[in-house]
Structures are given as C-alpha cells and as structure tokens.
Structure 1
Amino acid sequence: MRRTERFVVEGANSLWHIYKTVSFWKVMKNFIVIQLGRYSPSLSFKNFLYRNFLHMKIGDETSFALMVMPDVMFPERITIGKNSIIGYNTTLLAHEYLINEYRIGEVRIGDRVLIGANSTILPGVNIGDDAIVSAATLVHKDVPAGSFVGGNPMKVIYTAEEMATRRLMQPEKTS
C-alpha cells in the first residue's frame, strides 16, 4: 500500500479544488523552473534548479535525463539519493487528484537507482538502493532494494538475490 495523505472533497471533482490545496503562484514558479530543467542539457544546472527553487532533496551525481517531469505542486516531497539516473521523460508524482479526494505522498528514490525512460512514479512509494526500474514502468508500489522491476502493472522481474547471481554469471570484460 502506498503511503499517502488523503483529503476528501465535496462538490466538484478534486482538481477543481486545486488552489485550495496549493498556491497558484507556487505552481506557476514550479512550472517555469521545471520547464527550464526539462529542456536543459546541463545535469548540474538541473540539480541546482531543483534543489534551490523546488526544494527537492537530490544526492550528489544524480542525473535527470532530458524531459523528466518532477511534480509541479509538491516537488519538495521528492527525495533522490546519490548517483541515481532518472530516465528520459519520466514523471515523478507526489500528488494525485481523484473525483472525490486528492492524495499527497512522499517519493523516495535510493542511491544508485536506475529508472528507465517513460516511467511514472506515483506518490507514496519508496524505491530501494541499487534498484532498476525498466522503461515505461508504472511504479505503483514500493520497489525492493537491488531488484529489477518493470511493466504495467509493475512486477518484480528479478529479486536482489537473482540479480546478484546474474552478475556473477556474466563473462568478464576484456579490454
């Protein structure tokens, strides 16, 4: 089960209540910063923008590929460890608006995590250290450390133990 805070709304669907949830000006500022980051080819510039203007917690040497879309309303709820890669056009969501409620949750991505292109990370999930998320995966639950996951719905393809065995069985590289 994802860890989210749930807020029930009455009347119109929850998206109509958006500016009761978060300031219009915060969303506007975040949108501009995110668009600068999405199109920038500089990894260090993206990290500077996201740390200083969006208040995301980002570890050293973490890389955001082109077109990554952090949450525009609650980016400060995203934490990414050291030396991780967030693949092309990935979406990191810390909120979701439903008909009768909206939910907000932390997104925690560990150290040395690889997230493949076009993946979507939903609010309230943790992705453990050394995990690999295949391209085009919908991450709707926690990802165990060291595992390889993929698909929609997401499934564990290899556990950490199976990944360790696979690495041992790979032939040595020669130069």
Structure 2
Amino acid sequence: MRKTTRYPVEGANSLWQVYKTVSFWKVAKSFIVIQVARYTPFMSVKNWLYRTFLGMKVGEKTSFALMVMPDIMFPEKISVGRNTVIGFNTTILAHEYLIKEYRLGDVIIGDEVMIGANSLIMPGVTIGDGAIVSAGTMVHKDVPPGYFVGGNPMQVIYTKEQQADRWADDPIYAKKE
C-alpha cells in the first residue's frame, strides 16, 4: 500500500476546493518553474531550478529528460537520488485529488534508478536504489532496490538476483571484481 496521508473534504469534490489545500501563488510559481525546466536542455540547470525554487531534493548527476512533469502542487515532497535517469514525459505525483478526500505522499526515488519514458509515479511510493522501471509503467506501489518492474498494473519482471544473473556476463553491467 502506498504511504499517503488522507484528508477528507465536505461538499464539492476535493479538486474543486484545491486552493483551500494549496496556495494559488505556490501553484503558479511551480507551474512557471516546471515549464521552464521541462524544455531546458541543460541537466544542471533543471536540477538547480527544482532544488532552488521547488524545494525538491535532487541528487548529483541526476538527469530529468525532456518534458518530465514533477508534481505542480507539492514538489517539495519529491526526492530523487544521485545519478538517476527520469525518462521522457514521465509524471511524478505527490498528490491525489478525489471526490471525498485528497491524499498527499512523499515520493522517494533512490540512487542510480532508471525510469523509462511515459511512466507515472504515484504519491507515497519509494523506488529503491538501482531499480529499473520500464517505459509506460504506472508505479502504484514500492519498488525494491535492484528490481526491474514494468506494465500497467506494474509487475515485477526481474528480482535483484535475477537481474544480476542476467547481467553476469554483460561487458557493461557485469559487476567488476
């Protein structure tokens, strides 16, 4: 189960009441910063924008590809480790607005994680160090370190041990003694 905090609402659906839960000006600032970063070709500039203006935790040498969409309302709930690749057009959400409630949850992405293009990371999930998420995956639960996952719904493709066996003789990914 995802680790989210639930907040009930009365009356209209929670998205209709969005500015009771988050400042309009915060959302406006986040929107501008994210739109600039989405098209910026310089990884260090993107990371600086995310850290400086959105309060995201972004590790060294992490790469956000073109059109990545971090959460616009609660970007400070996103943490990405070092030397990670977030693929083209991936969305990382830290919130869910539903009919009778809204939910917030931290998103923690580890070191040296590879996330394929067009993936969706849901609020409240942790993706462990060295994990691989195939393109087009909806990550709706935690991914253990070193696992290879994919699909919708997300399923384990290879465990860390199976992945190590597959790469044992690979000239690039084999562990060096």
Relative to the length of structure 2, the TM-score reads: 0.96
Match of residue 121 from structure 2 = 121
Match of residue 175 from structure 2 = none
Correspondence 1:34-113 to 2 at 5 A:
34-113=34-113
Gaps of 5+ in 2: 173-177
The CA distance in 2 between the partners of 1:10 and 1:21, in whole Å, is 13
Runs of 4+ in 1 over 2 A off after TM superposition: none
The CA distance in 1 between the partners of 2:147 and 2:61, in whole Å, is 21
Q: Does 1:166 align with 2:166?
A: yes
Once the 2 structures are TM-superposed, how far is the Cα of residue 168 of structure 1 from its aligned partner?
0.7
The CA distance in 1 between the partners of 2:115 and 2:40, in whole Å, is 19
Q: Does 1:6 align with 2:6?
A: yes
Identity %: 69
Secondary structure at the aligned position of 2:25 is classed as helix
The CA distance in 1 between the partners of 2:164 and 2:79, in whole Å, is 26
Instruction: Note the alpha carbon deviations across 1:51-94, whole angstroms, 9 max, x for none.
Output: 00000000000000000000000000000000000000000000
Correspondence 1:145-164 to 2 at 5 A:
145-164=145-164
The CA distance in 2 between the partners of 1:25 and 1:108, in whole Å, is 25
State the number of aligned residues: 172
Once the 2 structures are TM-superposed, how far is the Cα of residue 10 of structure 1 from its aligned partner?
1.1
The CA distance in 1 between the partners of 2:38 and 2:142, in whole Å, is 26
Q: AA paired with 1:33?
A: V
Q: AA paired with 1:156?
A: V
Once the 2 structures are TM-superposed, how far is the Cα of residue 169 of structure 1 from its aligned partner?
3.9
